[in-house]
Amino acid sequence: MKILVTGGAGFIGSNFIRYALRNHPDWHVTNLDKLTYAGNLENLWDIEGSPRYSFIKGDIADRELVDALFRENHFDSVVNFAAESHVDRSILDPAPFIDANINRRGLWVALVGGPAVYGGEPAAAEHSPYAASKAAAATPSPA
Ligand SMILES: NC(=O)c1ccc[n+]([C@@H]2O[C@H](COP(=O)([O-])OP(=O)(O)OC[C@H]3O[C@@H](n4cnc5c(N)ncnc54)[C@H](O)[C@@H]3O)[C@@H](O)[C@H]2O)c1
């Protein structure tokens, strides 16, 4: 099984990749990550030499790159962790959150969301630009 993980150098993505490789010996994981301030390949130091793991530095919004990756790899599944995810930064500068979390979602079939999207407080989207961007990304667009 071939899996594309986006944002796999971040907190959750790197743990997902480690879990996937340990528990699914027939999986190959390609990690596409832009390596923003939040991405750190040291999160994956223990698996970087695995023959079942590949890293590509790139942006999920780079359609040419993404198309080429799909042509070459025929992925069975995509798990998207790539996002702007730091609430404090969203309050200081919301623009990258709109760009990364909403404008680029068209490329992807899976979305990782938390309380800002699914749970807890009904007015979560009002609490920060981060929460608003995640809620917007999870809301279907009108046809
Ligand atoms: N950490 C949490 O507690 C938590 C809780 C609920 C939901 N989430 C959601 O889970 C997802 C992953 O969270 P995380 O904590 O691992 O985030 P993180 O900030 O640690 O990692 C995000 C990763 O995405 C990469 N990235 C950002 N923009 C990119 C782009 N345009 N193209 C390619 N890569 C890009 C970054 O380099 C980084 O490696 C996010 O959608 C976040 O909102 C996180």
pLDDT digits (tens, 9 = 90+) for 90-115: 888 888 878 777 766 545 544 556 66
Q: Is 85 a pocket residue for ligand 1 (Cβ < 6 Å)?
A: yes
Domain spans, the chain:
2-137
Compute the distance between CA of residue 6 and CA of residue 103 in angstroms, rounded to an integer: 16
Report which of 96, 81, 91 is spatially closest to residue 129, judged by C-alpha positions: 91
Contacts of 39 (CB under 8 A, 6+ apart): 7, 9, 10, 33
pLDDT of residue 127: 73
Architecture of domain 2-137: 3-Layer(aba) Sandwich (3.40)
Distance, CA of 134 to CA of 139 (rounded, Å)? 9
E strand or H helix that includes residue 57: strand 53-57
Instruction: Give the least confident one: 3-7, 56-60, 91-95.
Output: 91-95
Q: Which residue has the higher pLDDT, 119 or 76?
A: 76
Across 30-34, 104-108, 124-128, least confident range: 104-108
Give the DSSP letter of residue 69.
H
Tell me which residue has its CA closest to atom 21 in ligand 1: 10
Residue 115 is given by DSSP the state H
| CA 21, 19, 17, 136 torsion-angle sign | positive
Is the Cβ atom of 69 under 6 angstroms away from ligand 1? no
